[in-house]
Structure 1
């Protein structure tokens, strides 16, 4: 199915690819459809920047939260927190976007940004990264908790009986055994982050520029497609450019998952 989608997007992108060099399209930094300039570098950097920020925030917090829930939390706390996490996963993305506008954007504009001397209004890749991190919390925590719960109790007992502390057992035994599953959870959450549209669109600023700091506005590829599809289609190659944007996003996600799968296979061979 993915192959057919890719072929369809490629065919729709051909008018642009025939008219302009692929390297020029990918490395160009100017987006001006009226002038026939379709530089995708700002959108690529915007997508990668927001996703990396979300990953840097979410991965350690989700891992530590999952360890606490599995190894330290009481049964009552588990029964209370885990269903709430599942509820978070069901919240529509637009509500996360509204939350970002009402809380995250003012926080960055009035407090965090001023500390670092930024005069940005708060609509930035940092805002997008924070909102996106919160959005991928539920899926990442749920999977990591399930992975940690599959570790045989005998392994923990054997480590503790040899004199290891509880934290040493978590570090040396549990996390080592669960590493492939943890990486798979991060990969799955990151794949979702790459394609997230509405919430990120609402807080990133949507300016086609290459972000030079966390407080600069960005323009991820999904936001580009959502903002412009169906408009200005009378401009030559404009629809082909948006189809190419979709193809580019599909390629980025495919390559990310392929590389992650190869890394996971290597880790499983060593385990």
Structure 2
């Protein structure tokens, strides 16, 4: 049983080792710092700076979280504390549907609706020109895709708050909103943080939907209306045709390793926070 329980961790370790071994060819040519922090990406010249792609990943992901976290928390508050039972039952299948939709469906919807909305409405309002294929378009799509993750975890956190605490607050004369704000939200603050971190790690690895709307231009974005090029899109766009070029292949494997380590770090952080919350409840 112990071996079976250890299998997921061993699998992650094998993946990390495999990616590292495949990326060693690029590490022997350039120092890691130059590879990570150079903005020069020109494979034909042997330049493999990952900074534009790391920056694009962070821009899109942080934009998505800025949009998704407030809406998700407010939705979870309503469903947990205020919604009638029929509304909760009706909302659950919708949340599950959003979680289960293929990312290409989100991407197609983004190309049809979100990209024109950003390019023709939001960009003129901001006084800038944009084709619509931008960090903001990718952030909007990712925000919608991360709603189910954040809402689901936040609902579990709110459910773990003892009902006796709510009843005690109400018996002392607090209103429903005061009880929610001072008891439920305060008690569940760390869990909400964990939900946000899990949403962040979920968004970091998303590929197809973002690839379709973000523009895929290998330069460091300067604003939300600039195109970007996240790490998952870089790997998906280039890996198949570049396997025969050793340094290019190694550079893409290093990009995959960087992405995996970032996602792994945020998942470990989120799980640690959730474990602390569960221990406090017990």
Give the 3 Å change call, closer, same or farther, for CA 262–71 of structure 1 in structure 2: closer
- Whether 2:38 is the aligned partner of 1:28: answer yes
What does residue 202 of structure 1 align with? 212
RMSD (Å) for aligned C-alpha atoms: 1.8
Equivalent residues of 2:40, 2:48 under 8 A apart: yes
What does residue 54 of structure 1 align with? 64
Report the CA distance between 1:174 and its aligned residue.
0.7
| Aligned equivalents of 1:142, 1:234: Cα separation in 2 | 43
| Aligned equivalents of 2:275, 2:96: Cα separation in 1 | 29
Equivalent residues of 2:198, 2:270 under 8 A apart: no
Equivalent residues of 1:124, 1:205 under 8 A apart: yes
| Aligned equivalents of 1:67, 1:140: Cα separation in 2 | 12
Equivalent residues of 2:195, 2:270 under 8 A apart: no
| Aligned equivalents of 1:163, 1:148: Cα separation in 2 | 21
What does residue 260 of structure 2 align with? 250
What does residue 14 of structure 1 align with? 24
SS of 2:226's equivalent?
A: coil
Equivalent residues of 2:22, 2:253 under 8 A apart: yes
Report the CA distance between 1:3 and its aligned residue.
1.4
Of 196-205 and 234-243, more deviation after overlay is shown by 234-243
What does residue 72 of structure 1 align with? 82
Superposed, which structure 2 residues align to 1:1-271 within 5 Å? 1-260=11-270
| Aligned equivalents of 1:11, 1:150: Cα separation in 2 | 43
User: Structure 2: which 5+ residue stretches go unaligned?
Assistant: 1-10
| Aligned equivalents of 1:144, 1:99: Cα separation in 2 | 27
Of 68-77 and 210-219, more deviation after overlay is shown by 68-77
| Aligned equivalents of 1:153, 1:267: Cα separation in 2 | 16
SS of 2:241's equivalent?
A: coil
Equivalent residues of 1:33, 1:235 under 8 A apart: no
Alignment length (residue pairs): 271
Of 181-190 and 69-78, more deviation after overlay is shown by 181-190
Report the CA distance between 1:147 and its aligned residue.
2.3
Q: TM-score, normalised by structure 1?
A: 0.94
Q: TM-score, normalised by structure 2?
A: 0.91
